[in-house]
């Protein structure tokens, strides 16, 4: 050990203190949040997420009852009443409610407790260990969406612990089965447990996504008032069966393949719907050129002859400007020398806001040009959009603006879908909103290998979420 003089130690301590001040994130202290012990709440959040990732709720089969019981233990310790209900054996759902003075409609904090399966061989850590390494918390669900579940939980608990007077009820709901369509989760709750959502006017859940630059600094926070709707179709061709040694030109497989070829060659026209126009315009400031100018004036861009080929370089954007078709499932004979009497294909189509299933079915029928092929709808729900002219949207904008002077709020249209539609159908204003700004590289690991959340984004997101809910719900 080297010897230091008192003076040099003092100078060093002063230097470190100044350095800490200089490096502190530019978070504005808020008098309204002064009573939250952030240091304690953040470490509770990290510990809880690590423990929650260890509760394996891979869907299928789900086993979300384990997660519901995990939440229940916490509610029990905090003295908060809750209810658990199973939509089917093992498919648990949980609710807890903080009472407000009833002067405004309730806010639902909705999170799905299931996660998608993992391919363990491609992970560099155990996906169900909740490991903390290299500034990340690793594991299946760490982004989608156990992290947001814990942030909703701690926001809810902290309102209770601090005894904050509320002007609206806050309803915490953890559901099963989102990753498989939500019929055993949010869809079931809305239908079979209407008392759980009684009095609700607003709902927040996953979706939209928020972007950070490579240093982790937030660029924008997304709010999703609408999303594309699934039109999952099954096409079935039937025909004469026979021996594979004597070909049948118009066999079921041949006619199905001809129909699929037409679908594959079909280039869906570009269509600028109002929510997507808003999305592009609000995202424009955060895009590099030439996309900044294109997004700022999407009508002019789409009128250019090279618009389609340019958009093919941005498939995520193109998918928001067209209906899409992915051929995903094929089946025919299970024996190589039998020409089967039936062949079928499954299509994952996603429709732009405003498109009905009837209109889309007619379009597919026109493209395949073969009336003998049967079309069945596997999954669809009606398109619905929530207004952004609401006090909840205003609270999100205010909180983002107060914490981050340089980051904005972008209205997005999700290319996929979440549980939001079940609530929009009931007239509840529902937004996808994720308070964690992450890089594209981090975001791309959702449903993939080595899913992980940057711990700093997670902690910052906890504070941002609290600001929003507190502002939106506290009694004035």
How far apart are CB 151 and Zn ion at their closest, in Å? 14
How far apart are CB 145 and Zn ion at their closest, in Å? 4
Is residue 164 within 8 A of residue 152, CB to CB? The reply is no
Q: Is 144 in the site for Zn ion (CB under 5 A)?
A: yes
Select from 144-152, 316-324, 385-393, 434-442 the region that touches Zn ion (CB under 5 A): 144-152
* Among 430, 433, 436, CA closest to 404: 436
Q: Is 189 in the site for Zn ion (CB under 5 A)?
A: no
CA-CA distances (angstroms) from residue 20 to 16, 23, 24, 31?
Answer: 6, 5, 6, 22
Q: Is 148 in the site for Zn ion (CB under 5 A)?
A: no
Q: Which is nearer to Zn ion, 221 or 301 (CB)?
A: 221
Distance CA 115, CA 294 (A): 37
Residue linked to tokens 């995520």: 316
How far apart are CB 198 and Zn ion at their closest, in Å? 25
Residue linked to tokens 């509770």: 44
How far apart are CB 264 and Zn ion at their closest, in Å? 30
Is residue 416 within 8 A of residue 227, CB to CB? The reply is yes
Q: Which is nearer to Zn ion, 145 or 345 (CB)?
A: 145
Select from 90-98, 141-149, 372-380, 407-415 the region that touches Zn ion (CB under 5 A): 141-149
Distance CA 61, CA 89 (A): 10
Cβ contacts of residue 238 below 8 Å, gap of 6+? 252, 341, 342, 372, 374
- Total number of residues binding Zn ion (CB under 5 A)? 3
How far apart are CB 134 and Zn ion at their closest, in Å? 24
Q: Which is nearer to Zn ion, 185 or 383 (CB)?
A: 185
Select from 198-206, 286-294, 296-304, 467-475 the region that touches Zn ion (CB under 5 A): 198-206
Q: Which is nearer to Zn ion, 143 or 368 (CB)?
A: 143
Q: Is 233 in the site for Zn ion (CB under 5 A)?
A: no
Q: Which is nearer to Zn ion, 42 or 206 (CB)?
A: 206
Q: Are β-strands 324-331 and 342-351 bridged in parallel, bridged antiparallel, or unpaired?
A: antiparallel
Q: Is 113 in the site for Zn ion (CB under 5 A)?
A: no
Select from 113-121, 123-131, 143-151, 366-374 the region that touches Zn ion (CB under 5 A): 143-151
Q: Is 145 in the site for Zn ion (CB under 5 A)?
A: yes
Select from 142-150, 165-173, 350-358, 371-379 the region that touches Zn ion (CB under 5 A): 142-150
Q: Coil, strand or helix: which one is 132?
A: strand
Q: Which is nearer to Zn ion, 145 or 171 (CB)?
A: 145
Q: How many CA atoms lie within 13 A of 428 on its CB side?
A: 26
How far apart are CB 205 and Zn ion at their closest, in Å? 8
Q: Is 64 in the site for Zn ion (CB under 5 A)?
A: no
Q: Taking the mean position of all CA atoms in its chain, how far away is CA 325?
A: 21
Name the phi and psi angles at 470, rounded to 5.
-60, -45
Q: Which is nearer to Zn ion, 57 or 155 (CB)?
A: 57
Task: Tell me the per-residue interface mask from 200 to 219 with Zn ion, x by CB under 5 A, - otherwise.
Answer: ------x-------------
Distance CA 454, CA 135 (A): 6
Sign of the alpha-carbon dihedral angle for 348, 349, 354, 355? negative
Adjacent-strand bridge partners of 343: 237
Tallying the residues shown for the chain, one arrives at 476
Torsion of CA 283, 458, 414, 321, to 10 degrees: 30
**Structure tokens, 288:** 């590099």
How far apart are CB 181 and Zn ion at their closest, in Å? 12
Q: Is 67 in the site for Zn ion (CB under 5 A)?
A: no
Q: Is 151 in the site for Zn ion (CB under 5 A)?
A: no
How far apart are CB 214 and Zn ion at their closest, in Å? 25
Q: Which is nearer to Zn ion, 206 or 471 (CB)?
A: 206
Minimal CB distance to Zn ion: which residue?
144
Q: Which is nearer to Zn ion, 173 or 368 (CB)?
A: 173
Q: What is the CA radius of gyration of the chain?
A: 25
Q: Which is nearer to Zn ion, 63 or 251 (CB)?
A: 63
How far apart are CB 245 and Zn ion at their closest, in Å? 50
Distance CA 345, CA 325 (A): 12
Residues that bind Zn ion (CB under 5 A): 144-145, 206
């Amino acid at each position: 050990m080297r010897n230091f003089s008192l003076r040099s130690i003092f100078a060093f301590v002063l230097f470190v203190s100044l350095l800490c001040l200089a490096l502190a994130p530019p978070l504005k202290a808020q008098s309204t949040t002064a009573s939250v012990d952030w240091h304690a709440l953040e470490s509770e959040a990290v510990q809880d997420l690590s423990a929650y990732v260890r509760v394996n709720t891979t869907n299928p089969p789900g086993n979300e009852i384990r997660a519901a019981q995990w939440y229940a233990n916490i509610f029990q310790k905090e003295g908060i009443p809750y209810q658990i209900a199973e939509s089917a054996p093992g498919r648990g759902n949980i609710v807890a409610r903080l009472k407000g003075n009833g002067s405004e409609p309730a806010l639902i904090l909705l999170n799905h407790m299931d996660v998608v399966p993992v391919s363990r061989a491609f992970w560099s850590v155990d996906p169900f260990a909740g490991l903390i390494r290299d500034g990340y918390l690793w594991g299946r669900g760490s982004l989608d969406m156990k992290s947001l579940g814990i942030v909703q939980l701690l926001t809810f608990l902290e309102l209770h612990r601090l005894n904050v007077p509320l002007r609206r009820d806050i309803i915490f709901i953890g559901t099963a089965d989102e990753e498989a369509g939500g019929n055993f989760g949010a869809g079931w709750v809305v239908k079979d447990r209407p008392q759980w959502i009684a009095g609700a006017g607003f709902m927040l859940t996953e979706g939209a996504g928020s972007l950070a630059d490579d240093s982790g600094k937030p660029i924008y926070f997304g709010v999703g008032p609408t999303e594309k709707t699934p039109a999952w179709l099954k096409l079935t061709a039937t025909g004469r069966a026979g021996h594979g040694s004597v070909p049948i030109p118009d066999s079921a497989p041949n006619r199905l393949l001809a129909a699929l070829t037409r679908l594959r060659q079909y280039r869906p026209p570009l269509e600028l719907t109002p929510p997507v126009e808003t999305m592009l315009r609000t995202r424009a400031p955060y895009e590099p050129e030439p996309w900044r100018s294109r997004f700022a004036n999407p009508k002019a861009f789409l009128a250019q002859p090279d618009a389609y080929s340019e958009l093919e370089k941005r498939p995520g954007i193109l998918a928001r400007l067209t209906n899409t078709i992915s051929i995903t499932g094929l089946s025919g004979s299970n024996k190589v020398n039998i020409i089967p009497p039936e062949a079928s294909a499954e299509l994952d189509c996603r429709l732009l806001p405003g498109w009905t299933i009837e209109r889309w079915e007619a379009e597919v029928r026109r493209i395949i040009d073969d009336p003998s092929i049967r079309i069945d709808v596997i999954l669809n729900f009606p398109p619905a959009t929530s207004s952004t002219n609401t006090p909840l949207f205003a609270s999100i904008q205010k909180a983002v603006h107060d914490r981050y002077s340089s980051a904005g709020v972008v209205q997005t249209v999700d290319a996929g879908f979440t549980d939001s539609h079940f609530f929009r159908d009931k007239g509840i204003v529902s937004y996808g909103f994720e308070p964690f700004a992450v890089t594209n590289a981090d975001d791309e690991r959702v449903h993939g290998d080595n899913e992980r959340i940057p711990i700093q984004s997670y902690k910052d997101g906890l504070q941002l979420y609290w600001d929003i809910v507190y502002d939106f719900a506290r009694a004035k």
